[in-house]
Amino acid sequence: MSEEATSAETSKASAKASDTTTAKRSPIIVCRKIVRSFWRAKERLDVLDELDLEIAEGSFEALMGPSGSGKTTLLNLIAGLDRPTSGTLTVAGTEVSAMGDAALARWRSQTIGFVFQHFNLIPVLTALENVELPLLLTSLGSSERKKRAQIALRVVGLEDRMHHRPQQLSGGQEQRVGIARAIVHDPKIIVADEPTGELDRKSADEVLHLLERLNKEFDKTILMVTHDPAAAERATVLRKLDKGKLL
C-alpha cells in the first residue's frame, strides 16, 4: 500500500476514533423531550417532536435534513434565540429553557458565538468594527475591545484586512470576519447556520478548515447546520433530522 493510501486510511480511522473520544466527554448540550410548536391559523404544527439530544463538550457536529425538518429551529433553541414549547434544555450547565429574557440575553452573549449564512456584517463598518460589535455589550474599555477584535481577526487570518469594509472583501473573507465576530468573546459553543451556503467551493473549504481548527486547537464545541455533504464530512459527528425527530 502506498504512503498516500496509508495516510488516507489513517485519517479515516482517526475520524472514527474521534467520535468515540468525543462521546466519552461530558455533554455540554442536553435536550430532553423538546417540543417546539407553532400555530398556523387553528392548526398546531410541531416542528420538533419530543426530541432528545446530547452533544459532548468539544465536539464538532453537523446537522442535516430536508428543508422544514426543524434544523434551524433546534439551532435557535440551543443558541437561546428561541424557547421550547415544552421539555428541558440545558446548555453549558445552565437550564436555558427556564431563564428570563434579561438573564438569557446575558448568558447568550457570554456562551454562544453565531455564524450566519449571509454573514450579517454591517456595510458601513470596517472588519475590525464589525468584530468589535459584540463587545460593546460588555464592560470592556475601548482599547481592550479593539485588542480582542484584532486577536480574533488574526486567528482567522485577516489581520491585514481589519480596516476594509465588507464590500472590499471576498465572500470567503466576509465569512471569516463573521467567524472572528463569533469568537471575539471566547464563547464555549459556536452555532453555524449554513456557514458555506453563499460560498464557492474553495472559499467554503477555507471556512470549514477554520472551523476545524477552532474545534481542534481551541476546543470550541461546534454545531453546524448544513445541506452540503462536503461540509458535513468535516464534522466528527453527523446527525440527521426529519419531521422534528432525529434519525
Predicted confidence at residue 14, as pLDDT, reads 41
Nearest in space to 150 (alpha carbons), one of 161, 134, 139: 161
**DSSP code of residue 191:** E
Residue 125, sorted as left (phi over 0), alpha (psi -120 to 50) or beta, turns out to be beta
Identify the top-confidence range among 41-45, 148-152, 243-247: 148-152
User: Residue 23, Cβ neighbours under 10 Å: how many?
Assistant: 13
Which CATH number is associated with domain 58-82+99-246? 3.40.50.300
29 close to 54: Cβ distance less than 8 angstroms: yes
pTM here is 0.86
Mean pLDDT of 76-91: 95
Predicted confidence at residue 8, as pLDDT, reads 39
66: CB partners within 8 A, 6+ apart: 242
Q: What is the pLDDT confidence band of residue 27, given thresholds at 50, 70 and 90?
A: very high
Q: How far from chain centre, in Å, is Cα 217? A: 16
Over the stretch 146-193, which tens digit does the pLDDT of each residue have? 999 999 999 999 999 999 999 999 999 999 999 999 999 999 999 999
